[in-house]
Structure formats: C-alpha cells, structure tokens
Chains A and B, each alone.
Chain A
Amino acid sequence: MTHPFSRTAARRVATSLMLSAAMLGAGLTAAQAETLRWARVGDALTLDPHSANEGPTSTLLHHIYETLVRRDTDGSLKPRLATEWFIHPDDPTVWVFRLREGVTFHDGAAFTAEDVVASITRVTSETSDFKGLHTAVAGAEAIDDYTVHIKMSGPSPLYVQNLTNFFVMDKGWIEANGVETPQDFKAGEEKFTVRNTNGTGPYTLVSRDPEVRTVLAANPGHWDAAPAVTEIVYTPIKEAATRVAALLSGEVDFVQDVPVQDIERLSNTAGISVTTGAENRTIFFAYDMTSDSLKSVPGDNPFKNPQVREAMALALDRDAIRQVVMRGQSVPGGQNVPPFVNGHDPALDAYSAPDYDAAKALMTEAGYADGFSVDLHCPNDRYINDEAICQAYVGMLGRIGIKANLVSQSRTIHFPAIQNGEVDFYLLGWGVPTFDSQYVFDFLVHSPADGRGGWNGSRYNNPEIDAKIESLATETDLAKRDATIAEIWQTLQQDRVFLMVHNQLLAYAAKDNVEIAVHPENQPSMTTVTFK
C-alpha cells in the first residue's frame, strides 16, 4: 500500500490542519484523511499492559502492544504474534505456540520466545490485574526462538481464548527498566511502564497527556500491511453532549461511545454515519433463589418458589424495554449469553410475550395473591440506560403485585454488594471475553468455591451442575464438552436462574468517509479503518 505523503509531511500537514480546525472548526479536507481523531468517554488508565484489565485501556494498548492471538470483529480468533497454536499431541496439559518470525519491538529488539516467557511470568505475578485469566498456567518455556510451550496445571482446552488481551513485552526492556511486575499501589511509586511503552504493535507512542490527548504514529517497521490511518489522536471526552458536538463541529472524526438518544439524529445528519453492532454483553436480572429469608424484607423468600420466578418472567416486557428505554438499540433474548458465544442456542434464546393474567394466576397459586415487597438493586453508571431498565421493570412487576423498591447506586457500591451477597434482587451485565459459556458458568452459576462463583448472587447451588462445570475445564473432547454445555443451559433455563433482558448494541459514529466495523468487545483497531 502506498501513501500520497511521507509520514513526517503528513503529520506536519495534519498538525497544522488540526490547529486550524480547532480554531475555525473547519471541515474535513482530503489531506487530513491520514490522521484519525478518535474520541470516547474515558481514557486508558495506564500504558502498563498488565496492570488494568479494563476495556478502554486494553483498546488503546492493542495499538502499541500485540497479543499472541486476536479477536476478529466476527468473534473468531485470528493469528497475531502467534501464527499457529495447538495442544501438544503427547501432553494435553501443554499449549504449543509457533511465533511469527521477523517481528521487532519499537526499540529495535527482535521478538523471540523468551519475550513471551517473560510476559507470561509478568502477567501471572501478584500485582497483575490479568492473573485471573491465567490461573491454570504452571509455567512457560521457550523451546526454540519461535516456539513456546505453556504448561498448564491440568488440561485446559480453551486457554487460548484467554489470550486476546495478553500483551507481549520485550524481556530485555523489562529487565533494563526494572519493571518485572506491574504497578504496586502499596509501594507508592510509579512504574516506568505507566508512561513508557515498547511493543511490537502497528503504532508507536508519540506523546501522551493523560485524559487530554494521546498521539500515536504508524510504526514503519511493523510486520503487517501498513494501515490507512497513519496518525491517531485519541481524546477522551466525558460529557455525552460535548462528545457529539465535537463530531458535529468536525473537531473529531470518530466517536466510539454514542449515547442512544443521539443515534437517530446523528444518522440523519449529513456527513456523519452511524454503525451499530452487537456487543459481547448481556443485561439480566437475578435473584437470591436459595436463602430462607430476604435481606431487604426479612421473613420469607418468594424467589425460592419456581412459580414466582415464572410469573416474573411473564411480567417482563422485553420489547417494550427495547422500544422505550433502549430506543431500539438492543437485542432482546431469553438465554443469558451473547449470540456469538459457544453454547448459545436460538431455541433457548427465544422469549415469550408478556402475559400479566397468567403471571397473576401463578402468583395466586404460589400463595402471593397480594404480592410481596423487595428491594431491586441497580447500577446507574455502568450499562446503557441501566437505571431506566430497572425503573421500567419495577412498573411491570407492579402489575402482578410485586412492590419492587428501586435502589440505584454507583457500580462502586453495586458490584461489591453482589459479590458479598448483600442483595436479594439485582440487575447485572456480563461480557464473555473467552467467547465460551464456561466463563458464564464459572462466575455466575457455580457455587462459590475455589475461585469460582464469585458473582453468583443468585446463590444457585446445584452439586450436579457444579460437577458438570468443573468437567468443562479439562474436557478435551470438544463435541462432548459442547453437549455438557447444552445440558447445563437446559437446567439453568428450567430453574430460571437468570431473567435475561437483552444484549447491548454498540454504536460508533464517524464522518462519512471513515469506515470502521463495530468490534464485539468494543475494542476497535484503527488498522482496520479505511477511508472512502
């Protein structure tokens, strides 16, 4: 691919245009097409690749550092620093990775197997925020310059799915700068890696002013085809109205977090196009199904009664929530797992229309003809219109006599309350980064034990299901494994462990000439952007 400008010239032109655009709000010109000004709600927290397991941080770092494998926009795994990966034919506990040859880090060092080993050591260290994805790792070994063996504590047929945010660092650079472990907050000093980078990625860091502006330039030494975007100017804009205004006034080219209420207006604006796509995240209600008494209204636990759970499902009008609360920006469903995840079943995902008479009859049969009272806990700063979804459902529950008292709080209070089992009935969203149902079962379904069931606020406790979930981790026969997943889902749907509402949709807005595909993990890569 050739470029009309040399890189420095393009940057100079782009900078001067940026200045004039900032002053005059000037429109787009052809020369500017090399720079992409990218705005989203928040900034990356740090540039350390193993220190913050958080969406915006990983999204930015994917441009500077690279992973062994990457997640494509259709959800499939694609080669990146690894060209091939498989379970060792003689030892089911060993994953073999064949590495790409001829890759160099930004400082010129060659990329070899030793770098992967050093990065595995770093990502599994005590202060790493990603260590939860690598708990099964026993150690890594460089077989030759371009082959790595990762030894697991037992068979781990799906471990490679955990590697889409595992960034590889240079061993020599780690040692030279004394950054063998990620940021330790207790030590009270800043790590070199928070502001300095040395990856193999398609872009190099030019400058960074946290929460103001981060500038990246295309890496001329990158192994892959040169991207159309040669410079990225990344600016967080927190306020939704300002973010949209900046796009309309031509100060940014691409807005990643578009508020749902602006989607329609933006798509009707000349010069701006909006792309929507499914996000890997379900939104659902869950309730404490096993305790003898509610916490908010002590004495009894109506959620133990299957008829009550069925009545609540019949009272949930998903289409109304989609239309009124989400302005059409959601995909309602009945199975608590996104469509592209292994284990999703269209038959289970089908949902029925609300039937308030049947729901009331069930409530009467269950002995709750007069309904009951309960607190509904809801986050108000985490998911798209999270609080409004809860408000809508409170109204629907009221029609069958359930008086839900809405407690809406910040995620910083809501999430610990779920993890500590302090709530009876709550809304939660769940993404599945491994694209496999086991991730859902491990955290939301398995009874709390041995690092599993950390988010099981339903207090669902089914030893038979627990055993099946544990078998998934080590089952290497994938057909048999899929059958077990299907069985588990059947039971969960029968027991109504989750009250699934919908899958979230993502909306990206950009200038008409910018083409970008929605990424299910909301981690778009600017290397995929093309200009019309």
Chain B
Amino acid sequence: MIAYVLRRIVQSVLVMLVVALVSFSLFRFVGDPVATMMGQEASQADREALRDRLGLNDPVIVQFAGYIARAASGDFGISYRLQQPVMELILSRLPATLELALISGTLAFVFGVGLGVYTALNRRGWLSGTIMTVSLVGVSLPTFLIGVLLIWVFAVELQWLPSFGRGETVDVGPWRTGLLTPSGRASIVLPAITLGLYQMTLIMRLVRAEMLEVLRTDYIKFARARGLSDRAVNFGHALKNTLVPVITITGLQLGSIIAFAIITETVFQWPGVGALFINSVQFVDIPVMAAYLMLIALIFVVINLVVDLLYYAVDPRLRLDRAAARH
C-alpha cells in the first residue's frame, strides 16, 4: 500500500513538472509582457532593460529552471500586472472560486439526482418530457449566453438579484466568505446556476439512464414481488445502486468546475481565480499564469490521486492482483 502511494505521488510530481514546462514554452506565444507593462513613451532601450531585469531574454529552459527553483522555496514572484505577490493574490481569490464551485456542484448534484429520478419513474409524464427538453437547452447553450440571459431576466427586468460581484464579504480567519451576508448569498445565485447548469443536466441524464437500467433488473422485480412499498423499492434499492457511477462523475466534475469557472467568473465579475487568470492572460502576466496553471494541475492531480486511493481501498480485486503479482 505504501509503495503504491509513493509511486503515485512521484508520478504526480512528474505530471506537475510537465505541466509547468509545457506552460512555460507556451508563454512566449502569448505575447510580450513588456508591451503592456510600459507606457507608449518607453524607449526601446527602456523596454530592453525591463526585459533583462525580468529575465525574459533568457532561454526558456533557464527561465523554467529558475522558476521551479524559486517555486520550490515558495516564491512565486510578483504579478506584473497588480504588483502584488502571486501566491497572496491567488489565495485571496481562491475562496470565491471554491465557494462558487461548491454551491454550484451541490445544486447540480441535488437537482440532477432529483430530476433524474423523477424523469426515470415518470417516463411518459408531460412534465418529464418538458424537463428533458429543457435540459437539452442546458447542454447546448454556451455558458456565456446563459449567464447574460439570467442577468437580463433576474437583474435588469425583475431586479431580484445583483448582476455582478460578490456582494458584502466577511473575513473568517484567512477565508473571505460571501455566504454569511444577505447580499453575498443573493450574489452567488445566478453564477452558481450558470456554472452548474451543464453539470446538472449531465447528472440528471446519467441518473435517469442508470435508474431505467436498474429498474429492469430482477432484484427490483423481486423486491416488488415481496410487496415492498414503491418508496422503499425506488429509493432504498434502485437509487442506491445507481449512485456509484454518479458519485464518481460528480467528484471528477468538481475539478472541472473549479478549472472552468473562468467564463462564469468573467460574465458575473466574480472575483475568483478564473477571472484573475483571464485578466492575466490578456496582460501576459507570466507569474500569475504559471502559478494558476500549476494550481489547476495540482487540483486535478490530487483528485485523481484520491480517486485512485479510494478504488484501492474499495475494490478488493486491485489488492488481490498486486498480492498475486508479488508471489
């Protein structure tokens, strides 16, 4: 078990290094940070001097090695754009993104499972038909458009919810939360729906398909034959058996929700790491881009590692195979 974990951790570090190297070789195609860092009056010599000071004239591999060495000692540099330490910037934005991801993930899971069960049980109902049709819209409309439509209806026309920002926030230790104030809670509704809509339809369709499958199996027929109530059959037996793949998918999707909140954050001016990243790309803020990509890589690596370890713990066959191989 320990050897397995160690091996996985070494692999994860390698993945992170590769991500860093790939992103470093890509940065040169994003543009020249000096072009945005200096005003139009700066002379060619001034630009060259700044480029030198930033080490941008060094070969990519030298820049990469220097970056890794500094990153290993916890120094991720100063943002070219906001002139603040990169780690501090990212850590101050991370709570906003995590709260949004968590709320939208929860919404997606609860409504996805609920609607999935409902449409599976009432396959021919008109409401199920409507839900299935509407869910197609959720899958096919781009996030950007959904966000703008929601803003138009709920912020401009009905004026129920704010159109941008995070509302009032409260600092709980290092964590800046918007969930403890009324304006903060109102502010998270539209972005959470926008971000979670796709995941919700995905989960709903998955649950529905799995339920339909399970409902045809023999043990459900036997359960009904035993005279169990519909409720016990549907939720105690059928739903329980559909949830294994659903939980796996939801867990993996959480990573993508965090990583791909970029568009939602931009539309709603949500002060999270995604919006920070997109602004950094436009400014060619290399220190922030590098740290963000490393962070996303880390999140995916950790999620995958946890999933792998869970499988190892849950699935006895994995352990048996290895035990057998050793003999």
Task: Give residues in A with beta carbon < 8 Å to B.
Answer: 19, 22-26, 42, 45-46, 48, 51-54, 126, 129-133, 183-186, 188-191, 194-195, 209-213, 235-239, 241-242, 245-246, 248-251, 381, 409-413, 415-416, 419, 430-431, 443, 448, 451, 454-455
Minimal beta-carbon separation of B186 from chain A (angstroms): 5
Q: Is the CB of B269 within 8 A of A23?
A: no
Query: How long is the Cα–Cα vector from A90 to B35 in the complex, in angstroms?
Result: 41
Q: How far is the CB of A19 from chain B (nearest CB, A)?
A: 6
CB pair B159–A416 under 8 Å, yes or no, is no
Query: B265-295 interface mask toward A, CB cutoff 8 Å, 1 = contact, 0 = none?
Result: 0111101000110010011100000000000
Contact residues in B for A185 (Cβ distance below 8 Å): 50, 53-54, 77-78, 80, 83
Residues of A within 8 A of B34 (CB): 416
**Given A190-B84, A443-B40, A238 and B275 contact (CB-CB distance below 8 Å):** yes
- Known A-B contacts A211-B279, A242-B163, A250-B159; A454 and B31 likewise in contact (beta carbons under 8 Å): no
Closest beta carbon of chain B to A403's beta carbon, Å: 26
**B155-A249 in contact (CB<8A):** yes
Known: A22-B183, A129-B42. A412 touches B36 (CB 8 A): yes
- 27 A-B pairs whose Cβ atoms sit less than 8 Å apart in the complex: A19-B168, A22-B162, A22-B186, A25-B159, A25-B162, A45-B82, A48-B83, A53-B41, A130-B41, A132-B39, A185-B78, A185-B83, A188-B78, A194-B83, A195-B84, A211-B271, A212-B271, A239-B266, A245-B156, A249-B156, A250-B159, A251-B155, A410-B282, A412-B30, A413-B30, A431-B40, A454-B44
Cβ–Cβ < 8 Å partners of B80 in chain A: 185
Q: Find chain A residues with CB under 8 A from B85 CB.
A: 189-190
B151 near A241: Cβ-Cβ < 8 Å = yes
Asked whether A451 lies within 8 Å of B151 as measured between CB atoms, the reply is no
Within residues 160 to 200 of chain B, which ones have a CB less than 8 A from any CB in chain A?
A: 160-168, 182-183, 186-187
B82 to chain A, nearest CB (A): 6
User: A23, A133, A431: which contacts B162 (Cβ < 8 A)?
Assistant: A23
Residues of A within 8 A of B37 (CB): 52, 129
- 7 cross-chain pairs, A with B, having the tightest CB-CB distances, nearest first: A412-B31, A53-B39, A25-B159, A132-B41, A416-B32, A413-B31, A451-B43
Do A239 and B269 touch (CB < 8 A)?
Answer: yes
Q: Does B105 contact A (CB under 8 A)?
A: no
Asked if B152 is at the interface (CB within 8 A of a chain A CB), the reply is yes
* Count class of interface residues, chain B: 35 or more
Which of B41, B83, B152, B284 has a CB less than 8 Å from the CB of A183? B83
Q: How far is the CA of A134 from the CA of B284 in the complex (A)?
A: 27
Q: Which residues of A are found within 8 Å of B187, using beta-carbon distances?
A: 22
**A189–B78 touching, CB < 8 Å:** yes
Spell out B's residues near A (CB within 8 Å). 30-47, 49-50, 53-55, 75, 77-78, 80-85, 148, 151-152, 155-156, 159-168, 182-183, 186-187, 266-269, 271, 275-276, 279, 282-284
- Note all chain A residues with C-beta closer than 8 A to B276: 211
**Beta-carbon contact of B45 and A451 below 8 Å:** yes
Shortest CB distance A428–B (Å): 10
Contacting B266 at CB < 8 Å: which of A48, A190, A238?
A238
Q: A132-B41, A454-B44 are in contact. Are A411 and B35 (CB under 8 A)?
A: yes
C-alpha spacing A208/B82, complex, angstroms? 13
Q: A131-B46, A186-B54, A188-B77 are in contact. Are A23 and B182 (CB under 8 A)?
A: yes
Interface contact B30-A237, CB-CB below 8 Å: no
Residues of chain A lying within 8 A (CB to CB) of residue B152: 245
Give chain A residues whose Cβ lies under 8 Å from the Cβ of B46.
131-132
Chain B residues whose C-beta falls within 8 Å of the C-beta of A236 in the assembled complex? 269
Instruction: Please give, as numbers and ranges, the residues of chain B lying within 8 Å of A184 by CB-CB distance.
Output: 53
The answer on a CB contact under 8 Å between B75 and A188 is yes
Name the residue of chain B whose CB is nearest to the CB of A413.
B31
- A185 to B36 alpha-carbon distance, docked (Å): 14
- A241 and B155 CA atoms in complex are apart in Å by 12
Residue of A nearest to B45 (CB): A451
Q: Which residues of chain B are near A188, meaning CB under 8 Å?
A: 75, 77-78
Minimum CB–CB distance for B217 against chain A, Å? 49
| Bound Cα distance from A131 to B39, whole angstroms | 10
Contact between A212 and B78 (Cβ–Cβ < 8 Å)?
no
Distance to closest chain A CB from B86 (angstroms) = 10
Please, which residues of chain A bring their CB within 8 A of the CB of B161? 25
Q: In the docked arrangement, what's the CA distance between A91 and B19, Å? A: 62
**Residues of the B chain whose Cβ atoms lie less than 8 Å from the Cβ of A412:** 30-33, 35-36, 282-284
- Closest beta carbon of chain A to B76's beta carbon, Å: 10
User: B44 contacts A22, CB within 8 Å?
Assistant: no
Q: Within the complex, which residue of A209, A249, A413 is in contact with B159, where a contact is CB–CB below 8 Å?
A: A249
Bound CA–CA A99/B40 (angstroms) = 29
Which residues in A have their C-beta under 8 angstroms from that of B182?
A: 19, 23
